[in-house]
């Protein structure tokens, strides 16, 4: 097994990536189950817009198609505008959910849509998960630095083991022999002995 610094970087990256994905999934799952339903409930007053305006846009579109007046720009724009307004609740939920996630990650106060309590509770509940994500990012930088400051791949491997990294699954890189190539021009030109 050949140990290169690049193979160690790749190994560390994959190990950290798996742990980060697990922590991020835990974060997302909690928000989806415990925060998003409250936001959906708090925006229910505008839920009727979607069905009403979509129906109106459909009616206008059908009328314009049947009247052969769909070629002009203004009616098309009106149909598009109606559909855009119809999706306002979805956009509010998507935007605010993104803002809420940022508030939870940064432990910031969030007081829109009567979500203060829900976001505060989520921040407390998800604090260990957020800390784990931050710690994993820090650990990756530190492990990458341990590899970088080593003079050889073998030394970097030993440093990682001494730091407590489980290297059982490390495969290393395969020794690759240089590929045999055929030359289209006789190399005697380089050697200067083509006589």
Number of domains in the chain: 2
DSSP assigned state of 2: B
Residues 22 and 63 in one domain: no
pTM of the model: 0.74
Residues 87 and 135 in one domain: no
Q: How does pLDDT run across 137-191, given as a tens digit for each residue?
A: 999 999 999 999 999 999 999 999 999 999 888 887 665 545 555 656 666 555 6
Closest listed residue to residue 143, CA positions, set 1, 23, 19, 2:
19
Residues 106 and 45 in one domain: yes
For residue 173, the SS3 value is strand
Q: How does pLDDT run across 99-127, given as a tens digit for each residue?
A: 999 999 999 999 898 899 999 999 999 99
Phi and psi at residue 107, to the nearest 5° = 55, 45
Select from 114, 145, 180 the last residue of a domain: 114
Provide, for the chain, the percentages of residues in helix, strand and coil under a 3-state DSSP scheme, each rounded to the nearest 5: 75, 0, 25
Classify residue 189: in a domain, yes or no.
no
DSSP assigned state of 46: G
Residues 41 and 22 in one domain: no
Classify residue 192: in a domain, yes or no.
no
Q: How does pLDDT run across 35-47, given as a tens digit for each residue?
A: 999 999 999 998 8
Burial of residue 23 (number of CB atoms within 10 Å: 0-12, 13-18, 19+): buried
Q: Is there a contact between 100 and 31 (Cβ–Cβ < 8 Å)?
A: yes
The predicted pLDDT at position 61 comes to: 84
Query: Taking CA 153 as the corner, what is the angle to CA 149 and CA 157, rounded to the nearest 5 degrees?
Result: 85
Kindly report the number of other CB atoms within 10 A of residue 35's CB atom.
21
């Amino acid at each position: 097994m050949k140990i290169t610094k690049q193979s160690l970087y790749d190994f560390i990256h994959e190990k950290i990536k798996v742990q980060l994905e697990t922590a991020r999934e835990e974060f997302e799952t909690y928000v989806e189950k415990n925060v998003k339903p409250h936001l959906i409930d708090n925006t229910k007053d505008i839920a009727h817009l979607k069905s009403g305006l979509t129906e109106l846009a459909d009616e206008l579109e059908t009328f314009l198609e049947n009247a052969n007046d769909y070629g002009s720009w203004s009616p098309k724009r009106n149909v598009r505008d109606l559909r855009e307004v119809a999706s306002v609740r979805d956009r509010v939920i998507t935007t605010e959910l993104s803002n809420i996630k940022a508030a939870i990650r940064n432990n910031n106060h969030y007081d829109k849509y009567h979500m203060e309590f829900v976001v505060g509770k989520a921040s407390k509940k998800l604090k260990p998960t957020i800390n784990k994500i931050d710690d994993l990012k820090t650990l990756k930088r530190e492990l990458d630095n341990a590899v970088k400051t080593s003079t050889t791949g073998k030394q970097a491997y030993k440093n990682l083991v001494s730091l407590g990294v489980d290297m059982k699954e490390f495969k290393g890189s395969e020794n690759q022999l240089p590929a045999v190539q055929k030359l289209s021009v006789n190399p005697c030109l380089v050697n200067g002995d083509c006589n």
